[in-house]
Structure 1
Amino acid sequence: MQASNNYYLNNPMVHKDRQLAKSNTVWTRSFACNDLKPLIICRGPIRKEAMDVFDEMGIHHYGILLSEKDSITYTNALAPELRTLTDPDRVHRVPDYTGATKEERIRRIQQIIRIAYDNGYNAIFAGYGFMSEDAEMVESMEKAGLNFIGPCSFTQKSAGMKDQAKRTALETGVSVTPGVNNATSLALFAKYGKDGLDKCAADNNLSVDFSSCKDEEEKALVLLAASYDAGIDIITAADIGLALQVEAKRMLAEKPNNRFRLKAIAGGGGKGQRILQAANSYEGATLEEKIEKAAENVPSLVQECLIELKTNGVGDNKNVLIEMNIDTTRHQEIQVVGNGEWCMTMGGRDCSLQMHEQKLLEVSVTEEELEAAITAADAAGKPEEAEQLKKDLVILQRMEREGAVFGEAVKLDSVGTFECIVDGESHYFMEMNTRIQVEHRVTELCYKLKFTNPDDSGDYFIAESLVEVMVLLARHGKNLPKPTRILREKTSVEARMNATNQALQPHAGGVIENWSNAIIGEIRDDQGISTHNPDTDVFMKYHLAGAYDSNIALLLTTGETRLSSYQRLAEILRRTELRGKDLATNLEFHYGLVHWFIGNGINARPSTRFIVPYLTAVGLLKEQANQIDLDVAYAEIRQRYVSADSESNAAWLAALDAKKLLLIRPLERLFAEPHYMAGWLSMNKDSLNIVDGKLQWLVNPIELLDKLYHYLNMDFELGKPARYMIWDHDHEILNSAVNFYKTLNEKVDAADFPALEALLAAKKAPKGFSADEWSAIRSAHAGYFAGTEVLSVLAYIADKTGFCELSVNADLSITIPDRLTDESLQKRMAKVLVPPPAAKSDEVLAASGGMFYPREAPGMDVFVNVGDHFEAGDTLYIVEVMKMFNKVVAPFAGTIDKVLVEGDGVIIKKGQPLFKIIPDEKIIVETPEEIAEARRVKTVEFLATLK
């Protein structure tokens, strides 16, 4: 069966269940939804998924809303969904989904309502987009008589805002992260005093009824709400920053080794969040001095949180939370479903593998999988692993119970996510996402929901899609009985394919020119990008605009065990071919990371801080590889054979020259793709042994070479371009060698490769071989083996960098060497993975494309002017790329000679000159000859390890 990017329409098991849903009974027919006409106001994979699910449900009169940033402004970035939705009357456009300011956001909401009215839409679907958790927008839709397919405005207000959600959690007995959630109240008290709230209301002409308030905190909340409604500021962002600075000093003093997280209440997906570093990370003679230095940053961090969310305008709710940042934490979340009366859960997801709050790899956490893993660990004699898995099962059950309780408390009437952080045997509620999440498929691939007629247990229907469940809840709400969850698969895993470079930094732009078809077992959500031309079946090029986020696609698969799901994902990634112009994605990263877990321990428990040290380790591999000259190494190995057997020079030269590219080509690929090298070393770390500085093979290098070509997707295939596979003559040599050792292993008694090597070292023929046969075998072995020494450079690099010290312990914790947590090394290795654009010594170039901002926020001073002196580490500008604001700091000290970009929000390209500068010190650049000599010296060091 040809795999497809639409799971629901092509999976036969889904069709089997959907036929039950279509069964012709009065009760099942009563839950039809085909009278809905939704307007889809989101983008990305969820928009295409919604279109597919709506079509399957018989909802055919939906429309889609396109933003100009999404579809028009960028050449060739037209929404690929239009390849299937060709009716222009169902396609609508706005300049931007949310607008740049509060006023523009309000106008946009009204514009969307008008579009719905004018075109006969009666429902709104916002997916996991920017407007899906906008309580003001949802309330406006409800007042306009539109059916919002998602949580209602009451739930949005109760759970969507992080401060209110924490208050609700505390009231319902849900464990929460220690911190402060009432910064706006504290700022109000600091400015007016607790006794001055009435005067504040009067001075600002706010009509407020305090009679029902039980304490000053409630009075402050009521007063603040009135100010938001009136569109005025009774406190400013600066006031909030000062209030949080006081709280931060107290928290830093209590826990000087802890970092703290600041979060704007309306944030999500990593936006509007900043980290306050631990007090003890600052220089100072006393703890008080360190605390003061740390706390100095709080006001500016508050500003950054608000600016990033565009909630720093007059009348915006500017509340920012500060919480203890548990650095050893795992990020887990529970899928919650409710209809406003009942609430139930659908297992969990582990989202700990993330960077800059952006999730990268997500895996299911189910009771069934954990129970099976516990049984397997016990059977394998791994008591520590089994014990940890049992603890994980208990934590999952607790989180599911609390998730259902919290969902009921906020009257959840759709799908939502109960997000937690897990620290040891404790867990803390973090926030509830009042929307469907990007990773929702991870859950729905493990569970489906069975809705049963309360009066007839044989009358039921089954829903497999959470989008379908959202539609059912929006249309039928409290008429829906509480469903039961049914296991589909024990495990599932999702890799987010993003437009990022090898250091996982956003890479705006780029054109996808070819994308291989999905394979069997692959579930691909890609916004329809890989939909071929319906007439010619040709892939249509796609320009990645990158105006909103870096996600290109979601790649998912399932398995009976976590190991089998990761192995399937590894095969999907191996066979995915994605090529284009100026294109950078994280496919290589995912391929290496998945193999790291397969090689080290699939049940490992990484924390949210794992990825950066892991990237640093990969950077060290790249740095070491850059120092090795493979041509020099192979030439020296070749010369050693010639020198050792001068009588057979011609034969050795011919054999070694014929094999050079067979051996060097895959190594060059690994050197160029350090993430591939990381995965390969993780899978094969026990193939070589280093004794007294000498390398010894534990596995036949010919077998490893054959596996390496497969690992790199360079297998010989007729019709495949030669540049992407092993060359035919090399294939013949390798195939002959593999068959030789396979036959030999069947005929001799050797437990492993070292035993086989010892046997072949003896001239005397073993039993079953004549002297001539054995001599020929030994000669063939020498010929096949010659030159394979160069492959040991991989083990040499792993040893020199200590790559394998990043490892999984018996209790499933991960040992991260201290050096990999050094911030200066982390930054240096990011530059090794992605070298900055080559610049003259008197200029600063754009490290990436995006939107250039010379100042923190409108109305504020620019970071640098002509004539300003700056130090290394000072901020020069901000670049907004893929929805995130990134401060760019000076790599060295100097003086601004000329500013080459003027204005706010100017589009810049990677490598574009931004500033002319006068450096404080002359920058010394190595010559090509000096670089070559340094590589030769390092290569000689490697060669010294060969026997």
Structure 2
Amino acid sequence: MFRKILIANRGEIACRVIDSARRMGVATVAVYSDADLGARHVAMADEAVLIGGPAPKDSYLRGDAIIAAALATGAEAIHPGYGFLSENPEFVDAVEAAGLVFIGPSGRAIRAMGLKDAAKALMTEAGVPVVPGYHGENQDPEHLAGAAEAVGYPVLIKAVAGGGGKGMRKVDRAQDFAAALASAQGEAQTAFGNPAVLIEKYVEKPRHIEVQVFGDGTHAVHLFERDCSLQRRHQKVIEEAPAPGMTAEMRQAMGQAAVRAAEAINYKGAGTIEFIVDASEGLRPDRFWFMEMNTRLQVEHPVTEAITGVDLVEWQLRVAAGEALPARQEDLAIRGHAFEARLYAEDVPAGFLPATGTLAHLRFATGARIETGVRPGDTISPWYDPMIAKVVVHGPTRAVALASLARALEQTEVAGTTTNLAFLGALARHRGFAAGDVDTGLIGRDLDALVHEAEAPLAARALAALAAAGLESGQGTGFALWGALRRSIAFDPPAYLRVEGSGRVAVEIEGAEHICELRTDGWWVDGAKTGARFHLGGDEITVFLHGAHRFARPDPLARASQGPASDLTLAPMPGLVKAVFVQPGQQVAEGDRLAILEAMKMEHTMLAARAGTVAEVLVSEGSQVEAGAALIRLAEEEEAA
């Protein structure tokens, strides 16, 4: 076994690898950028080496600096995590040329699966079913349009070198193909440095089911399937294992196909074979097709670990150190059910836009497995993926595990940044999802209901008013000075408070009075125990009571939000202005493209909120802008006249 390894990654995956390495007696070396100086993975590792600036190209994508750090610290092997250089065959070659071990597959195996078109040709030879489509080299737009016609609409345009939903567009009509192709190619060029795409038939009721495989370079086993159908913008939100509705016949067929795929390239280490499944007539063994292979550990690997009892990182280290497969196929079995929810800093109602901010308050549920790379007080940076944590639960049945997930999410508390926590909770309570009736379109179909913000319960509103008055702790000068006076609080809606004694306050909101009492086990409202907790930060009060309820005091200096007829087009997040399509004096219609903003490797098209004349273009291509920066100004009606 290795004495010391370097982890060429950051965040929760670096922390995850450190956990297993520490348990195995293996010392760890972290690498970090300027932005990650105080990061959790740096604090956890035995050693840490600075490798560059905050942009990934200046740090985590600098293979030479990472290899130099490994050599300088005496590490014997490099674990790539996922993302960054984990599927870069040139990096693998460089690691091995330096006399180090790459904890993962060979460069040859990564190359074989790195381009989707070549991988599908290889899978066809190996007897693995593939989705109908065009996977050729001809990238002429007219040729690709003809291929789409031949496959039949709707089709999916996918980046050949893609992943994570980047460079992917669904096209329903021939007249929309050219614009979607240009957009997909532009995003693919930015994310992967390769604009090439392939065309596939779009499956109308698709489920995304993937199979975990593990090989030792000669033989492979599968560790059953994961269902990753709950997706938004082609990115996974909640994953589970095993897949609901899976039959023994289907599981055997998919597992055997996945093993054939891995053994066809002499795969070594942990990998995932992703399949698209047509669930329109249930799960049938003749209705699944190979999509791609991820030649690395996956974000959602904890659910597989939960149902099999296998530590996949331990297996990675053992096989990389020269051991054979740690288990035979017949040794592996499914025990219970597991879910993983990805908690992100993102604005769901605004279209799942990534968010930044400082985690002023962070508290996770007890009883759940939490995979995180952040701590209270850490900052969510615009430079990297805005994941806060993965919340993982396991239970004897799917129903029990799902109930555990809903409770774990309800007990998770985050303040200081916008998150998708309420959205995840709504998904965990979704009736269709609970019944196992899930496909990749579920979120899109039910999005309005899933993002609907329910009115805060009366108890939360009463406690928020109490906190606005500075009485949330039940101690200090607040109670002593108020006496029995009835005082109004500048709150929305207006509230009136009357202190009736130590730890007892009457709160009147909209004509109804509520009695708040502080007992030894926390605040009770109208005789009911709440278990509520508070966070006060700046002009926002957060009451954690069966979810997070935020209340803000009015701020007259706050900038008005961009309305549907706003003259200004504002940047919804920090990013790079990739393209500007208009110039002063140009007439635009509502919905016309004005600019493209690139943030976190994804392109966001800025559209005209109304028809009008462009008065000013306030940015240029290549500009780096902050959230809320004005990009384009339309002339006012009188000004245009």
Common fold by TM > 0.5: yes
Residue 865 (structure 1) shift: 2.2
Partner of 2:289: 428
State the 1:82 CA deviation: 3.1
Corresponding letter in the other structure for 1:437: Q
Partner of 1:130: 84
1:180 partner amino acid: Y
Report Cα offsets for 1:654-686 as digits up to 9, x if no partner.
xxxxxx956986999xxxxxxxxxxxxxxxxxx
Mapped to 2, the partners of 1:720 and 1:906 lie a distance apart of 50
Structure 1 residue 553 and structure 2 residue 389: aligned? yes
Matches of 1:64 and 1:479 in 2, distance apart?
27
Other-structure match for 1:247: 144
Structure 1 window deviating more from structure 2 (350-359 vs 507-516): it is 507-516
Give the alignment partner of residue 44 of structure 1, picking from 11, 20, 35: 11
Contact 1:893 1:919 in 2 (8 A): no
Q: Given the alignment, which residue of 172, 184, 193 partners 1:278?
A: 172
Using the TM superposition, give the Cα deviation of residue 96 of structure 1 relative to its aligned residue in structure 2, in angstroms: 5.6
Structure 2 counterpart SS, 1:408: helix
Do the aligned partners of residues 588 and 840 (structure 1) sit closer, same or farther apart at CA in structure 2, a change above 3 Å counting? Answer: closer
What is the CA-CA distance between 1:49 and the residue it aligns to? 0.6
2:162 paired residue among 263, 267, 285: 267
Paired position in structure 1 for 2:342: 496
Superposition RMSD on alpha carbons, in Å? 3.2
Within a 5 Å distance, the mapping from 1:126-525 to structure 2 comes to: 126-182=80-136, 184=137, 186=138, 240-242=139-141, 245-252=142-149, 255=152, 258-275=153-170, 277-279=171-173, 291=174, 293-297=175-179, 299-312=181-194, 318-365=195-242, 389=245, 392-424=247-279, 425=284, 426-448=287-309, 464-478=310-324, 482=328, 484-487=330-333, 489-503=335-349, 505-520=352-367, 522-525=368-371
Give the superposition deviation at 1:840: 10
Give, as a single letter, the amino acid of the residue that structure 1 aligns with 2:633.
K
- How big is the shift at 1:483? 6.2
Amino acid at match of 2:293: M
Q: Does 1:605 align with 2:563?
A: no
Q: Equivalent residues in 2 for 1:92-107 (5 A)?
A: 92-95=50-53, 99=57
Contact 1:851 1:906 in 2 (8 A): yes
Alpha-carbon distance change, 719 to 161 in structure 1, aligned in 2, over 3 angstroms: farther
The CA deviation at 1:109 is 2.2
Contact in 1 for aligned 2:159/2:185 (Cα 8 Å): no
Answer whether contact 2:6 2:78 (CA < 8 A) is retained.
yes
Deviation, structure 1 residue 903:
5.2
How far the C-alpha of 1:612 sits from its partner, in A, is 1.4
Corresponding residue for residue 480 of structure 2: none
Matches within 5 A, 1:755-904: 837-838=561-562, 843-855=567-579, 862-902=580-620, 904=622
Match of residue 32 from structure 2: 66
Distance of 2:77 and 2:593 partners within structure 1: 46
Is the alpha carbon distance of 1:717 and 1:395 closer, same or farther for their aligned partners in structure 2, counting shifts above 3 Å?
farther
Name the structure where strand makes up a greater proportion of residues.
Answer: 2
Give the superposition deviation at 1:124: 1.1
TM-score of the superposed pair, with normalisation by structure 2: 0.79
| TM-superposed deviation, 1:499 | 0.9
Partner in structure 1 of residue 402 of structure 2:
566
Residues 567-599 of structure 1, C-alpha deviations (whole Å, 9 max, x = no match): 11111112112222xx111111111111113xx
Question: Contact 2:209–2:229 at 8 Å: present in 1 too?
Answer: yes
SS at match of 2:401: helix
1:261 Cα deviation after fit: 1.6
Structure with greater helix percent: 1
Counting aligned pairs with the same residue, the percent is: 29
Look up the SS of the partner of 1:444 in the other structure.
helix
The letter of the residue matching 2:99 is G
Taking the aligned partners of 1:401 and 1:486, their CA distance within structure 2 comes to: 14
Report the CA distance between 1:730 and its aligned residue. 4.8
* Contact 1:252-1:278 at 8 Å conserved across structures: no
- The residue that corresponds to 1:820 in the other structure is none
Residue 518 of structure 1, CA deviation: 3.5
**Count of residues paired in the alignment:** 556
- Cα pair 1:418 1:431 within 8 Å, conserved: yes
Superposed CA deviations along residues 138-157 of structure 1, whole A, max 9, x for unmatched, are 12222222211111111101
Separation in 2, partners of 1:525, 1:608:
24
Matched, 1:731 2:531: no
Q: Retained in 2: the 8 A contact 1:264–1:319? A: yes
The equivalent residue for 1:916 is 633
The CA deviation at 1:553 is: 0.4
Consecutive unaligned residues in structure 1, runs of 5 or more: 1-32, 73-77, 187-239, 280-290, 313-317, 371-388, 449-463, 531-539, 631-659, 669-713, 735-834, 856-861, 924-947
How far the C-alpha of 1:919 sits from its partner, in A, is 5.1
Aligned to 1:80: 40
Letter in 2 for 1:83: A
Per-residue CA deviation, residues 545-566 of structure 1 (Å, 9 max, x unaligned), is 1322121100001011100000
Deviation by residue 1:687-716 (Cα, 9 ceiling, x = unmatched): xxxxxxxxxxxxxxxxxxxxxxxxxxx998
Offset, 1:296 = 2.7
In structure 2, give the amino acid aligned to 1:356: R
Shift of 1:123: 1.2
**2:158 is paired with a residue of what secondary structure?**
strand
Q: Secondary structure at the match of 2:404?
A: helix
2: CA distance between counterparts of 1:346 and 1:715? 52
Tell me by how many angstroms 1:402 deviates: 0.1
- Tell me which residue corresponds to 1:829: none
Tell me, in whole angstroms, the C-alpha distance in 1 between the residues paired with 2:387 and 2:400. Answer: 25
Per-residue CA deviations over 1:757-794 (Å, capped at 9, x if unaligned) read xxxxxxxxxxxxxxxxxxxxxxxxxxxxxxxxxxxxxx
| Per-residue CA distance 1:42-69 (angstroms, 9 max, x = gap) | 1221100111111111111x2111133x
Contact persistence 2:564–2:610 (CA under 8 A)? no
Cα distance in 2 between the residues matched to 1:916 and 1:575: 43
What is the DSSP-based 3-state SS (H/G/I as helix, E as strand, rest coil) of the residue aligned with 1:418?
A: strand
Corresponding residue SS for 1:137: helix
Alignment map for 1:745-764 (pairs within 5 Å): none
Partner of 1:119: 73
Secondary structure at the counterpart of residue 173 of structure 1: coil
The aligned amino acid for 1:853 is: V
Mapped partners of 1:900, 1:892: distance in 2? 18
Q: Which residue of 2 aligns with 1:589?
A: 423
Q: Partners of 2:603 and 2:571 in 1: how far apart?
A: 14
Residue 486 (structure 1) shift: 3.9
Q: Can you give the 5+ residue segments of structure 2 that lack an aligned partner in the other structure?
A: 466-514, 531-558
SS of match in other structure, 1:565: helix
Deviations 1:196-225, CA, capped at 9 Å, x for gaps: xxxxxxxxxxxxxxxxxxxxxxxxxxxxxx
1:505 deviation in Å?
A: 1.3
TM-score where L is the length of structure 1: 0.55
CA distance in 2, matches of 1:122, 1:882: 32
- Looking at structure 2, the residues matched to 483 and 611 of structure 1 have their Cα atoms a distance apart, in angstroms, of 35
